């Protein structure tokens, strides 16, 4: 078996995207309003979508209700916009007043569209980026969206440069280089603006990049603080006495003690997912990704603090609490999925909860103030790598998953094919965001019902080269399908209803006060579903597979639903990069080979509304 097969997807991305490289341009015209609102004012209006996840709690719940369960079946396309890029579109637009802002995959062109004038292009900005960044973008050249604040649009480019653009003109205000793509560090996540700070992370776990989160000054982009995922306490910004983990101080050198020698320096734990924030607690929440390499035999120990939920003080970056979900990850179950902040009634008491649907197939409920573990349940019944998490506080294994050795790569050594592991490496859910509806009290989760065979092998580290060390095959889970969209209660562990799909449901969910849930499928369907019953109310096929996240806004008294379509991402990498080897894309090409029979490359925003003026 050729060991290079695993990385074909990520090493061959230049073929299609390279043609889009362009110099910095900002074709600007006058914006529709003479002044721009503050982020707090813009986010307070339900007419806008001013934060990538709509709100700091990452609920993706909108109070708009003009479109509701009784009329959603009458939706129709209102307008469309071609982005001009044929790669995976994995984010969502922003709407601030009369202007919509969106960003494409590489080369990361930003558009400002005038909603008052037939969606005219007010300005567009295309940065100069070296095409050498493309081969080090694991799993497609995606970007998950821009951020807004202080009259600026914040872009995290693929080459790890953060750019602030004037929201009215598109002119560059400031730029900050975070890390070098030459060692595999790239930018794919949507930044988060909080007050005078811009929160950004890094991708590159498959290249041995030590993950970090940084807070930049909104004024000029200088770094205010930077916190790594692994290493000495002063790099991670841990206080050994006051940073807590499951009710106990982490102690000195809590990360260093769990790595062999200085392996932590190339240890992964990257931060390419979503960020949430609680203004009352002044805490920032996010997750870190897989440890490097994918061959667990080469990195004995718990590999802290990869696979970890962090709660950090926004002002200082110091972690208040941490919780490692998958110690010594043997499956690539990145912990970067969104942290949804919701006040839940548990045992008759209201609890400030953090709910996280992890790639490992487990739904976690923690007290977001203290980090106390409240509940953990499987949200996909096929999960077999663990029997569950030890919930006994007096147990030495408290909070740890009970691992089934049969499904644990490395447990019987390397060059052994560990078969039938569920979920696959892309997780029971990847970055595609879930949504919380306070009206039903349920979480709506787009999932991947996918399993895998996993063979680890020895690999050497070279800066800027893939540092994987595993060959994978992916295939549908039990029942023969790959997607489940579910209404789930993570406190009780109950699935209230579910919809099966042939392929993964990779489009992020939106819930609204109209009692409707929206999401997108890999075949390209924008779907509206009754939040209480799961009845499909509307099903429209867009030009390409959807890996973007559904959003909504109100303009001139009319509610709109919008989604980016453009197949790609990890699941669609075969189509996006023209790959056919079933082991390419870390196994995804073979697993999703039939997707080409249902959709093709595209890059389009499709906007829906009810008929009438």
Give the end-to-end CA distance of the chain in Å, rounded to a whole number.
61
Alpha carbon distances (Å) from 467 to 6, 123, 205, 535: 11, 40, 8, 45
Bridge partners (DSSP) listed for residue 445: 486
pLDDT score for 613: 60
| Alpha-carbon gap, residue 140 to 162, rounded angstroms | 19
**Which pair of structure tokens corresponds to residue 550?**
């559904």
- Residue position matching structure tokens 């996240």: 549
The CATH number, out of the four listed (3.40.50.2000, 2.40.30.10, 2.140.10.10, 3.40.50.300), of the domain defined by the range 5-609: 2.140.10.10
pLDDT tens per residue across span 5-38 = 333 333 333 333 332 233 344 444 444 434 799 9
- For the chain, residues with pLDDT lower than 70 are 1-34, 613
Strands, E, within 83-228: which ranges? Answer: 94-96, 99-103, 110-114, 120-126, 147-149, 152-156, 161-166, 172-177, 192-194, 197-200, 212-217, 223-228
Break the chain into its structural domains and give their ranges.
5-609
Of 78, 165, 177, 93, give the one whose Cα is nearest residue 123.
165
pLDDT score for 452: 98
Catalytic residue chosen out of the listed positions 114, 270, 332, 501: 332
| Alpha-carbon gap, residue 529 to 582, rounded angstroms | 34
343 annotated active-site: no
Backbone phi, then psi, for 569, in 5-degree steps? 70, -170
Residue 272 near residue 190, CB atoms below 8 Å: no
| Alpha-carbon gap, residue 151 to 291, rounded angstroms | 38
pLDDT score for 7: 34
H-state helical runs in 209-346: 233-236
| Alpha-carbon gap, residue 144 to 132, rounded angstroms | 20
**Which pair of structure tokens corresponds to residue 288?**
């870190």
Count of CB atoms within 10 A of residue 241's CB? 10
Bridge partners (DSSP) listed for residue 536: 529
pLDDT score for 3: 32
pLDDT score for 275: 98
pLDDT tens per residue across span 139-188 = 999 999 999 999 999 999 999 999 999 999 999 999 999 999 999 999 99
| Alpha-carbon gap, residue 78 to 611, rounded angstroms | 8
Buried b (16+ CB within 10 A) or exposed e, 99-125: bbbbbbbbbbbbbbbbbeeebeebbbb
Of 193, 72, 144, 191, give the one whose Cα is nearest residue 526.
72
- With 0.85 as the threshold, say if the pTM is over it: yes
**Sheet containing 192-194: which strands, arranged edge to edge?**
192-194, 197-200, 212-217, 223-228
**Sheet containing 147-149: which strands, arranged edge to edge?**
147-149, 152-156, 161-166, 172-177
Angle CA(506)–CA(507)–CA(513) in degrees, nearest 5?
Answer: 140
């Amino acid at each position: 078996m050729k060991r290079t097969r695993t990385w074909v997807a990520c090493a061959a991305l230049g073929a299609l995207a390279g043609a889009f490289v362009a110099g910095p341009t900002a074709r600007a015209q006058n914006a529709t309003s003479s002044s721009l609102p503050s982020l707090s004012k813009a986010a307070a209006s339900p007419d806008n979508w001013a934060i990538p996840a709509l709100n700091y709690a990452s609920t993706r719940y909108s109070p708009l209700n003009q479109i509701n369960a009784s009329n959603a079946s009458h939706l129709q396309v209102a307008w469309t916009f071609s982005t001009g890029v044929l790669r995976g579109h994995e984010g969502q637009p922003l709407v601030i007043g009369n202007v919509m802002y969106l960003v494409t995959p590489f080369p990361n062109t930003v558009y400002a569209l005038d909603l008052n004038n037939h969606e005219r292009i007010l300005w567009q900005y295309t940065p100069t980026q070296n095409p050498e960044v493309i081969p080090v973008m694991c799993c497609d050249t995606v970007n998950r969206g821009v951020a807004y604040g202080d009259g600026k649009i914040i872009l995290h480019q693929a080459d790890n440069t953060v750019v602030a653009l004037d929201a009215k003109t598109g002119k560059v205000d400031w730029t900050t280089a975070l890390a070098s793509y030459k060692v595999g560090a790239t930018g794919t996540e949507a930044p988060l603006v909080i007050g005078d700070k811009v929160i950004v992370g890094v991708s590159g776990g498959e290249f041995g990049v030590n993950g970090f989160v940084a807070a930049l000054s909104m004024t000029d982009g200088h770094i205010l603080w930077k916190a790594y995922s692994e290493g000495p306490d002063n790099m991670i910004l841990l206080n050994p006495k006051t940073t807590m983990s499951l009710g106990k101080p982490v102690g000195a050198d809590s990360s260093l003690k769990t790595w062999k020698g200085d392996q932590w320096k190339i240890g992964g734990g990257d931060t390419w997912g979503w960020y949430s924030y609680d203004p009352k607690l002044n805490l920032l929440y996010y997750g870190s990704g897989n440890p490097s390499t994918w061959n667990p035999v080469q990195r004995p120990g718990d590999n802290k603090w990869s696979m970890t939920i962090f709660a950090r003080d926004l002002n200082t970056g110091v972690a208040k609490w941490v919780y490692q979900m998958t110690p010594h990850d043997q499956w690539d179950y990145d912990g970067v999925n969104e942290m949804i902040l919701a006040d839940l009634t548990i045992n008759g008491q209201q609890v400030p909860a953090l709910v996280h649907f992890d790639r490992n197939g487990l739904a976690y409920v923690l007290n977001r103030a203290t980090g106390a573990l409240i509940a953990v349940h499987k949200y996909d019944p096929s999960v077999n790598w663990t029997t569950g998490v030890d919930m006994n506080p007096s147990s030495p294994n408290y909070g740890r998953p009970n691992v089934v050795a049969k499904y644990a790569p490395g447990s019987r050594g390397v060059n052994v094919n560990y078969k039938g592991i569920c979920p696959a490496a892309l997780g029971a859910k990847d970055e595609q965001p879930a949504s919380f509806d306070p009206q039903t009290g349920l979480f709506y989760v787009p999932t991947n019902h996918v399993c895998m065979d996993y063979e680890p092998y020895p690999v050497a580290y070279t800066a800027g080269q893939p540092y994987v060390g595993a060959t994978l095959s992916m295939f549908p889970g039990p029942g023969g399908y790959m997607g489940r969209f579910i209404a789930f209660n993570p406190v009780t562990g109950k699935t209230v209803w579910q919809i099966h799909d042939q392929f993964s449901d990779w489009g992020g969910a939106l819930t609204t006060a109209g009692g409707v849930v929206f999401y997108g499928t890999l075949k390209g369907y924008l779907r509206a579903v009754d939040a209480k019953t799961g009845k499909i109310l509307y099903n429209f096929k867009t030009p390409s597979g959807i890996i973007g996240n559904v959003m909504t806004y109100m303009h001139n008294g009319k509610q709109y639903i919008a989604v980016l379509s453009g197949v790609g991402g990890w699941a669609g990498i075969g189509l996006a990069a023209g790959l056919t080897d079933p082991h390419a894309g870390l196994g995804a090409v073979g697993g999703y080979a039939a997707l080409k029979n249902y959709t093709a490359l595209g890059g389009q925003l499709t906007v829906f509304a009810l008929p009438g003026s």
